[in-house]
């Protein structure tokens, strides 16, 4: 398929030119004066609900905003009454309880039809007592459940040495930033002011005070049973921990999170950690005008977004991710590397590289120089290798010598962040003590940040674009890691994007970049899997259901972003002149678009934690289709039908 002469009719060429040009114009209109681009990042009902909880925990109400958030929560309620974790998903007990409580706090009567329907769904799912650990923490703060409803997480955990089987450095970055202030809350047990005196006893099938066995074994394994017994022991002995030791532990937890407060971008730059930090500072007695507390509250307000008269709260902001991926789309679509749009984006990205702060990742690599990028505007303690690889590839595509040092530092950092098994995690090295996912607290199954196929592929794509091939030891180890994790059907798992289409595109791009023979059997097995997953309308689609083993093969409606990933994967494998590719292109050309230039896509396209927390990147349905259509146009008009870039 590589090198074959491709002839596409004039009508298709005109369609490609018009659609790419129109979408590109709209994309460039989003660009900020300093060069960056940003789109909304949407989760489920839990984030706006928790924003309302925080206001009422502190008695710092915002009635007008809370009513807007309530309208949003009602707008995503399912017809049967519950709230899902992603568009089209099954009702989720924890999301539904949080949404119900938030609506009741903002004035919705339990007698209203939508509340009665929600209550019926919650009862059918087992009642509020069946919510997950993080929801039960929120309920404990409001006095809806006793503190024994949450697992024992003594603040003394902060004092554990690094060799100890359970210590903060064995957790992922997001876990560390969420847990440090949460440990303070669990130790001090502050009670929400709750000025409206709202309570939800009607959501429980059994009165909370009568429930004795709250904790569950999250994995069903013998290890989980062992940790359940440990939880019972800790519950008995914790009240007898020395007070001086407790105060020392609280002080250490406070020092940990205040060092990482991160200005107006907030602790870890993620909502749960930011909210916990505010509640912890209040519990510790910080005055209302304390600069750290004032700034932390402002960081949370910056997550509120209003677009098309719709108000919700983002789990975090995604400017570096959005800008770097948009830069690739701009360059693929023919924007001049030194032109205003591409150079503006790349100059802004280059300015955001973290070169002076050794973040938490340095615990495993103390001699490694910083050189990464974060996901958000600022998050110096927590750069991630996925953003770093994508940004550095965009800078490298421009061939602008001004970026050479930035690219070199990124290369050094990426190579230094490789884990022992040959893969890369998102934020840490060898963050893979899987036994910790068996503790009762870890019912979300994402306490850790082990290497994953998609992030590892991105790192290899970057190294391949720089010219490294299988002779490079880092690349060889990475390829071996990916080959070992290929699914039996030929696909690769997608940890951070939904799901196997995302993972398979990522790996195929990486294999092509490092010079793997794309006619190899295992590569073609992946190609055949992609073709087999194509829908009759020419597109590709996967839902959050695919993260459940028994539903991983279920069909799902085609989406523009996932279709673009599949097309980029096929083209990376050399399948440009292919009926499947052409049908995918036709799908994108025919798919409706919104007034702001994006392809219509209500479906969620990414994950925070599989099976627990899903994401909808509003930008994915803009820059990925532009990217795929532009690549198809470029390859069909070129004498060389091979993809020259890492992704």
Contact assessment for residue 216 and residue 440, using Cβ atoms and an 8 Å cutoff: yes
Mention every residue, 6+ apart, whose C-beta is less than 8 A from residue 95. Answer: 44, 45, 46, 82, 83, 84, 85
Cα 120–chain centre separation: 31
Round to whole Å and give the CA distance between 41 and 340.
26
380 catalytic per annotation: no
Burial 63-84 (b: 16+ CB within 10 A, else e): eebbebbbebbbebbbeebbbb
CA 562, CA 566: separation in Å to the nearest integer? 6
Among candidate residues 386, 387, 443, 454, the one labeled active-site is 386
Q: How far apart are CA 586 and CA 392, in angstroms?
A: 31
d(CA 94, CA 492): 30
Distance of alpha carbon 92 from alpha carbon 396, whole angstroms: 43
Question: 258-282 burial, b if ≥16 CB within 10 A, otherwise e?
Answer: bebbbeebbbbbbbbbbbbbbbbbb
Q: Helix 500-513 crosses helix 521-532 at what angle (to 10 degrees)?
A: 150
Q: How far is CA 315 from the centre of its chain?
A: 9
- Residue 606 DSSP symbol: E
Q: What is the DSSP secondary structure assignment for residue 427, as one 8-state letter?
A: S
Q: Do the beta carbons of residue 268 and residue 178 sit within 8 Å?
A: yes
Count of alpha carbons within 13 Å of 315, Cβ hemisphere only? 20
What element of type H or E holds 307? strand 304-307
HEC string for 15-68: HHHHHHHHHHHHHHHCCCCCCCCCCCEECCCHHHHHHHHHHHHHCCCCHHHHHH
* Residue 608, helix vs strand vs coil: strand
Provide long-range contacts, Cβ within 8 A and 24+ apart, for 522-528: 522/483, 522/486, 522/490, 523/573, 524/573, 525/486, 525/489, 525/490, 526/486, 526/490, 526/491, 526/492, 526/569, 526/573, 527/490, 527/569, 527/570, 527/573, 527/575, 528/490
Burial class of residue 7 (count of CB atoms within 10 Å of its CB; 0-12, 13-18, 19+): exposed
Provide the β-strand partners of residue 354: 372
Cβ-Cβ contacts under 8 Å for 63 (sequence gap 6 or more) = none
Q: Quote the CA–CA distance of 647 and 645 in Å, as a whole number.
A: 6
Catalytic residue ranges = 386
């Amino acid at each position: 398929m590589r090198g074959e002469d491709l002839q596409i009719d004039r009508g298709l060429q005109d369609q490609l030119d018009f659609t790419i040009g129109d979408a590109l114009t709209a994309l460039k209109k989003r660009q900020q004066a300093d060069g960056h681009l940003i789109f909304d990042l949407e989760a489920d009902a839990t984030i706006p609900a928790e924003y309302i909880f925080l206001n009422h925990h502190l008695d710092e109400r915002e009635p007008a905003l809370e009513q807007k958030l309530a309208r949003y929560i009602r707008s995503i309620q399912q017809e049967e009454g519950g709230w899902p974790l992603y568009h089209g998903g099954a009702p989720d007990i924890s999301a539904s309880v949080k949404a119900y409580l938030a609506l009741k706090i903002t004035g919705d009567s339990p007698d209203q039809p939508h509340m009665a329907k929600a209550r019926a769904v919650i009862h059918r799912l087992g009642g509020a007592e069946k919510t997950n650990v993080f929801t039960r923490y929120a309920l404990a703060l409001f006095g809806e459940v006793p503190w024994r409803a949450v697992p024992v997480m003594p603040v003394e955990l902060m004092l554990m040495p690094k060799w100890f089987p359970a210590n903060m450095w064995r957790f992922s970055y997001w876990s560390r930033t969420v847990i440090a202030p949460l440990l303070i809350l669990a130790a001090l047990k502050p009670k929400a002011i709750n000025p409206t005196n709202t309570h939800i006893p009607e959501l429980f099938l059994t009165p909370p005070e009568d429930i004795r066995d709250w904790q569950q074994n999250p994995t069903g394994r013998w290890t989980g049973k062992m940790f359940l017994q440990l939880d019972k022991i800790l519950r008995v002995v914790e009240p007898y921990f020395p007070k001086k030791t407790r105060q020392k532990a609280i002080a250490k937890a406070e020092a940990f999170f205040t060092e990482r407060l991160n200005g107006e971008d907030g602790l870890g730059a993620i909502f749960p950690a930011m909210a916990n930090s505010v509640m912890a500072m209040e519990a510790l007695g910080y005055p209302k005008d304390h600069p750290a507390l004032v700034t932390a509250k402002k960081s949370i307000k910056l997550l509120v977004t209003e677009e098309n008269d719709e108000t919700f709260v983002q789990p975090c902001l995604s400017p570096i991710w959005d800008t770097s991926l948009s830069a690739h789309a701009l360059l693929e679509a023919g924007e001049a590397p030194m032109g205003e749009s591409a150079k503006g984006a790349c100059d802004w990205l280059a300015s955001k590289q973290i070169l002076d702060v050794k973040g938490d990742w340095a615990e495993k690599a103390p001699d490694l120089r910083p050189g990464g990028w974060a996901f958000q505007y600022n998050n110096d303690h927590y750069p991630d290798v996925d953003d770093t690889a994508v940004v550095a590839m965009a800078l490298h595509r421009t061939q602008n010598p001004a970026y050479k040092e930035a690219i070199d530092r990124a290369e050094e950092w990426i190579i230094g962040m490789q884990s022992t098994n040959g893969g890369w995690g998102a934020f840490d090295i060898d963050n893979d003590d899987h036994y910790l996912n068996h503790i009762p607290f870890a019912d979300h199954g994402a306490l850790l940040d082990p290497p994953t196929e998609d992030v590892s592929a991105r790192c290899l794509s970057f190294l391949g674009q720089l010219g490294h091939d299988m002779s490079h030891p880092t690349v060889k180890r990475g390829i071996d890691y990916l080959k070992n994790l290929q699914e039996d059907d030929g696909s690769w798992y997608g940890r951070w994007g939904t799901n196997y289409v995302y993972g398979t595109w990522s790996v195929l791009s990486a294999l092509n970049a490092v010079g793997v023979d794309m006619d190899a059997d295992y590569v073609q097995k992946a190609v055949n899997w992609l073709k087999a997953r194509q829908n009759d309308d020419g597109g590709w689609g996967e839902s959050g259901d695919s993260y459940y083993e028994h539903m991983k093969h279920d069909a799902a409606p085609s989406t523009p972003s996932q279709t673009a990933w599949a097309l980029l994967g096929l083209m990376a494998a050399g399948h440009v002149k292919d009926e499947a590719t052409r049908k995918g292109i036709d799908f994108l050309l025919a798919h409706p678009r919104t007034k702001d230039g994006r392809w219509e896509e209500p479906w969620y396209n990414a994950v925070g934690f599989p099976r627990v927390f899903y994401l909808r990147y509003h930008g994915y349905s803009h820059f990925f289709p532009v990217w795929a259509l532009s690549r198809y146009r470029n390859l069909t008009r070129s004498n060389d039908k091979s993809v020259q870039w890492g992704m």
